[in-house]
Amino acid sequence: MTTMDRIRALPLWNGTLTIAPLKGGISNESWLVEDGNGRHVVRFGKDYPFHHVFRDREAMVARAAHEAGFAPELRYAAPGVMVSAFLGAKTYGADDVRANAGRIAHLVKRFHDEMPRHVSGAGFMFWAFHVIRDYARTLAAGNSRMCRELPRYLDLADKLEKAQAPLPIIFSHNDLLPANFLDDGSRLWLIDFEYAGFSTAMFDLAGTASNAGMTAEESDELLTVYFGGRPDQAIRRSHQAMQCASLLREAMWSMVSELYLTAPSPRTRRSSSSAAASSAARRLITWHATTRPT
């Protein structure tokens, strides 16, 4: 059965279908479908235990996020497929995130505070440093070409974890790429909840900043609005360290994906993981320089 056949066979359509592909990542495939009831996004994806991704949990969070007012309606879900309302909103790029740091901070704060009242089932904990350690085990077991670098990555992760400030447990998105923010002209939305789970606020705040290439001043605005006051040195240090961890986790995500997912080309995959690892290393040097005791 082709992808088009799979889409046409879904039991929710009304009338003639118009189907077009949407840009997507290497871990899922998305299509824009229009029928008599409007426009919808059809998203195909499998469970990826090596990435801690389980689609039943993702669907639960998507429903909860819609109920809480953060996400488009999830109109249908079955193993391997989800169908959501298409908003027709602007997909953010890095420049948009930097220009709207205050709005994003308010949205993320509300998501963190309100989502625990809406999610259900067994609680899932996302802790970036556990993910990094588990990725290292997966890479070693798969005889990754990056195995020789794993001790260095794990030592780096230990240092960054020790720099984390104690913060309350909240429910976080954990994949705040610019493209996961939508703007319909009057409000912001969130999409893609593959990694959502309980954590502290810092990974979302760090991921937002590092994924958008925020300057120190832009990051300070994000933190100030989120925490309701200018961040102290402990929060700044924690944020800088978590940005390193976010980049390291992203690099190791690419390395694990080389083993288990189909990507555009080996050169693209290697470029992605190497660039992220190099960026993490550069940020670590800056972090050490700016947080060294005087």
The DSSP annotation for 6-61 comes to HHHTSTT--S--EEEEE---TT-EEEEEEETTEEEEEEE---BGGGTB-HHHHHHH
Q: Which of 101-110, 142-151, 247-256, 275-284 is predicted with the least confidence, judged by mean pLDDT?
A: 275-284
Show Cβ contacts of residue 187 under 8 Å, excluding neighbours closer than 6 positions: none
| Nearest to 206, CA basis, from 132, 272, 128, 102 | 128
The answer to whether 167 and 276 have CB atoms below 8 angstroms apart is: no
| Three state DSSP letters for 139-157 | HHHCCCCCHHHHHHHHHHH
pLDDT higher than threshold 60 for residue 265: no
Which tens digit of pLDDT belongs to each residue from 199-256? 999 999 999 999 999 999 999 999 999 999 999 999 999 999 999 999 999 999 999 9
Query: H/E element holding 37?
Result: none
Q: Which residues on adjacent β-strands are paired with residue 31?
A: 21, 42
In angstroms, the CA 184 to CA 93 distance is 14
Query: Which pLDDT score is estimated for 292?
Result: 53
Q: What is the C-alpha to C-alpha distance for residues 224 and 178, in angstroms, rounded to an integer? A: 20
Residue length of the chain: 294
Which pair of tokens denotes residue 184?
Answer: 């319909």
Report residue 208 CA to chain centroid gap: 9
The predicted-structure confidence for 34-88, as pLDDT tens digits, reads as follows: 999 999 999 999 999 999 999 999 999 999 999 999 999 999 999 999 999 999 9
Measured over the CA atoms of residue 1, residue 266, residue 160 and residue 230, the dihedral's sign is negative
- Residue 72's SS3 state is coil
pLDDT at 97 over 70: yes
Distances (CA, A) of 25 to 45, 97, 263: 10, 20, 9
Best CA proximity match to 105, nearest among 160, 181, 168: 181
Is residue 261 very low, low, confident or very high in pLDDT (cuts 50, 70, 90)?
confident
Kindly state the tokens that stand for 223.
């933190």
What's the sign of the alpha-carbon dihedral 88, 23, 77, 113? negative
User: Three-class SS of residue 82?
Assistant: strand
